[in-house]
Amino acid sequence: MPDGLERMTDAELDRVVRNALTVEPSPNFVGRVRTRIAADRAPMVPGGWLPPAMVGALLLAIAFGITLSPSNEVGSSGTDIFLTTAPVAQPRPAPSLVAARGVSSPKPQRALPTAGGETEPEEHQVLISPSDAAAYRRLFASVGKESYEIVSDEAAGPQEKTMTDIDIVPIAISPLNPDIEDQGAFQ
Amino acid sequence: MHEYVDRFPDSLTHVADERDREFDRLLAESSPLVFRIAYSVLRHREDAEDVAQEAFIKAHRNLRRLRDRGAFRAWLVRLTWRLAIDRQRANRRRANRDDQHAHSLPSITSGDAAIVNERAELVWKAIDALPRKLRLAMVLSAIEGHDIREIASLLRVPEGTVKSRLFHARELMKESLKCLMVSRE
């Protein structure tokens, strides 16, 4: 039985407490702390996490912008020209339309029918010959914001459309050289 | 301009390296103190090392706040004490739930048998009976022989407060030891 504890002086009491606390951590304690701190340390990225986050955000913005950007189609100009099928006419394509696809939606989008009379909503591409493309461009340039029906030649049939609203630039044929007129076109 | 840009990243790594070296020095110097503070509360080597390790990790995360060594050491002491008290509470809750531990005595592993003898056991009981503020002052006074000024610096209290706490702690411990001796007889 330990004696003298109840009669200890302050110095003796301090010594007893000091002896009770004379404990050392295990020999590898400091090494374990160093290892744990090294594992806890963030990866050494220059500038921290911010540059990779910014790059990721930029890539997302580019991908989003590419997804939302409208496709370039033939005849698209600053004016809104809607090519729609005639409500009473059969949905027949113009002969010059090689592969026309449209979007079957209630809105008057560029939905050109296919040869079978059905609209395929996959693509927005309209493939026409260059000469037809040029004709369309001239038409759209001269029309402005008005909308027009464009039907195929077969659908037009015997109907004659008056071209009063379309200004077609007259073809100016300059007269032949009077000197060679009598000789004919071919010399 | 190019010279400044080239030198800038080096200066940053230089600061980080210097800070890590400083922390490594603090770790080597303070590990016995931190461990003993945790041990004085928990009286369990593994728990004390866990708490001490946690204290050092938290200290490393806040390393940029290091202005002077004294302030950081004091902060580390208070942090360790707080973590040890929290762990003691958690152990007691677990003990009450599991009914595996004694009421107030922590579990003592065989590795601690050499440390704890009968006299030390009574002293520990007396220390456990102290209020927390008095207990911390008493423990710091016993660890590494800190004087009044050093304890006041670590606890961020006036020296007079430290003296008062130590006086009351010793008186209470003598009373507790007297009672314990009587109860054993």
Which among B32, B119, B138 is the nearest to A25, CB-wise? B32
Instruction: State residue A157's pLDDT score.
Output: 56
How far is it, in rounded angstroms, from Cα B46 to Cα B51?
9
For A94, other C-beta atoms within 10 Å of its C-beta total 18
Report the range of poorest mean pLDDT among B25-39, B61-75, B164-178.
B61-75
Provide the pLDDT for residue B169. Answer: 93
The residue-averaged pLDDT of A148-174 equals 63
- Contact between B129 and B172 (Cβ < 8 Å): yes
Note which residues in 166-185 of chain B have CB less than 8 A from chain A: 170, 173-174, 177-178, 180-181, 184-185
Average pLDDT of chain A, as a whole number: 66
Q: What pLDDT band is residue A4 in, cutting at 50, 70 and 90?
A: low
- What is the mean pLDDT of the segment spanning A16-34? 88
Mean confidence (pLDDT) of chain B: 80
Q: What is the pLDDT of residue B130?
A: 92
Tell me phi and psi for residue A19, to 5 degrees.
Answer: -65, -40
Check residue B123 and give its pLDDT.
83
Residues in chain A whose beta carbon is closer than 8 A to a beta carbon of chain B? 1-2, 5-6, 8, 10, 13-14, 16-21, 23-26, 29-30, 32-34, 36-37, 40-41, 46
Residues of A in contact with B45 (CB under 8 A): 23, 25-26
Are the C-beta atoms of A36 and B53 separated by less than 8 Å? yes
Per-residue pLDDT, B122? 83
B123 and A33 in contact by Cβ < 8 A?
A: no
Could you count the other beta carbons within 10 Å of the beta carbon of residue B5?
Answer: 8
* A98: helix, strand or coil: strand
User: What string of DSSP letters covers A18-67?
Assistant: HHHT-----TTHHHHHHHHHHHHSPP--TTTTHHHHHHHHHHHHHHHHHH
DSSP state letter for A174: P
CA atoms within 13 A on the CB side of A67: 6
- Contact between A40 and B61 using a beta-carbon 8 Å cutoff: yes
Asked if A74 and A135 touch (Cβ cutoff 8 Å), the reply is: no
Nearest CA in chain B to A8: B174
Cα–Cα distance measured from residue B163 to residue A177, given in angstroms and rounded to the nearest whole number? 127
pLDDT tens-digit series, residues A61-91? 888 887 776 655 544 444 444 444 445 555 5
pLDDT confidence of residue B38:
94
Coil vs helix vs strand at A128: strand
Q: How far is A7 from chain B (nearest CA, A)?
A: 8
Contact between A156 and A88 under an 8 Å Cβ cutoff? The reply is: no
The verdict on a CB contact (< 8 Å) between B56 and A6 is no
Torsion of CA A75, A76, A80, A82, to 10 degrees: 50
Tell me the average pLDDT across B63-82.
81
Q: Output the pLDDT for position B149.
A: 92
Q: Predicted confidence band at A51 (pLDDT cuts at 50, 70, 90)?
A: low
pLDDT of residue B86: 93
> Average of pLDDT values for A102-112?
47
Q: How far apart are CA B71 and CA B51, in angstroms?
A: 20
Least confident of A61-65, A66-70, B53-57, B159-163: A66-70
Q: Which residues contact B178 (CB under 8 A, 6 or more apart)?
A: A5, A6
